[in-house]
Amino acid sequence: MGEPCLSTGGRTVDKDNEVFVGLDVAKRRHAVAVAEAGRQGEVRYLGEIDAGPASVRQVVARLEKRHRKLHFCYEAGPTGYGLYRQLVALGHSCSVVAPSLIPRRPGDRVKTNRRDAMQLARLLRAGELTAVWVPDAAHEAMRELIRAREAAVDDLRRKRQAISSMMLRYGRSYPGKTTWTKRHKLWLQAQRFDHAAQHLVMQDMILAAQHAEERQQRVEGVIAEFLPEWSLDCRQFRVWEGMMGRKESPDAPTQRTAYPRCLTGSAVGGRRRDDGV
């Protein structure tokens, strides 16, 4: 004898079935839609819930009472992977979907939370969504360090550029070959201007650049400390060691971004995709 049927809201639901749940996620609220199994299965919108873990847990518990198997999906985005980890911890499958690879009908440009959630549920049921690779917690922590290093390098470049621009405005040209060496920095410190305000501005910019350089070195030191414990393949490890050994200039974008792209790219459908994080 089969499982008893559940009656909910006047509808009789067989608990042996499965359901596909599309979530249109946002900072404060998630829109929820479900698609019942089968090509002719009903697709319905359940409404919006708070984005907090407690609300997610409640809607999952409600769906568990009606369906035996739950499959969830949502688009990859700024909300991260916390929702994915919660749903997996609750014992259900979840796909984080690549937004750029979601099939869309020509001319279908109207986007609402309701429509997006229902579309995700429908496409998940049809197997037409492409999931991104979801990093574990340790990998995601290393990503944050790489983002911090990128920010530090960009900050240092901007501050050095401000100094170079001021030197150019006043016709000051460094006679040496390589800038931002110890000798170049001593030359900057020795510059004098007609007005005290100009000298104060230059000294302030030099100090700001020094702090930015120290910040970059601190972050790189932390990365070097944690890197041996992280699940990084040998090729990527050599890339990072080479960069640390070269002490590359923040004005060399190719060298600077080689390792961050290795770390932040996601595997999508067997290909590499840069998340731009």
The answer on 62 and 152 residing in a single domain is: no
Cβ atoms within 10 Å of 9's Cβ, excluding its own: 6
The answer on 159 and 246 residing in a single domain is: yes
For the purposes of burial, counting CB atoms within 10 Å of the CB of 61, is it exposed (0-12), middle (13-18) or buried (19 or more)? exposed
Beta strand pairing call for 18-24 and 69-75 = parallel
Looking at residue 136, its pLDDT comes to: 87
CB 94 within 8 A of CB 73: yes
The answer on 150 and 117 residing in a single domain is: no
- Amino acid identity, position 177: K
- Amino acid identity, position 56: V
Q: Is residue 1 part of a domain?
A: no
Q: Is residue 156 part of a domain?
A: yes
Q: Write 224-228 long-range contacts (CB < 8 A, 24+).
A: 226/141, 226/142, 226/145, 227/142
The answer on 148 and 186 residing in a single domain is: yes
The answer on 253 and 180 residing in a single domain is: yes
HEC string for 190-250: CCCCCCHHHHHHHHHHHHHHHHHHHHHHHHHHHHHHHHHHCCCCHHHHHHHHHHHHHCCCC
How much of the chain exceeds pLDDT 90, in percent?
65
pLDDT digit string (tens) for 249-265? 444 444 333 344 444 44
Residue 15 has pLDDT above 70, yes or no: no
Residue-number span of the structural domain to which 242 is assigned? 137-274
The answer on 28 and 108 residing in a single domain is: yes
The answer on 145 and 89 residing in a single domain is: no
Average pLDDT in the 62-87 region? 94
Looking at residue 264, its pLDDT comes to: 45
- Give the residues across from 48 on adjacent strands: 31
The answer on 153 and 260 residing in a single domain is: yes
The answer on 214 and 265 residing in a single domain is: yes
Total domains present in the chain: 2
Select from 126, 146, 165 the last residue of a domain.
Answer: 126
Average pLDDT in the 86-104 region? 94
Name the least confident of 120-124, 132-136, 166-170, 262-266: 262-266
The answer on 235 and 145 residing in a single domain is: yes
The answer on 270 and 145 residing in a single domain is: yes
For the purposes of burial, counting CB atoms within 10 Å of the CB of 118, is it exposed (0-12), middle (13-18) or buried (19 or more)? buried
Supply the CATH number for residue 56's domain.
Answer: 3.30.420.10
The answer on 116 and 149 residing in a single domain is: no
Q: Is residue 2 part of a domain?
A: no
Q: Where does the pLDDT of residue 38 fall: very low under 50, low under 70, confident under 90, or very high at 90 and above?
A: confident
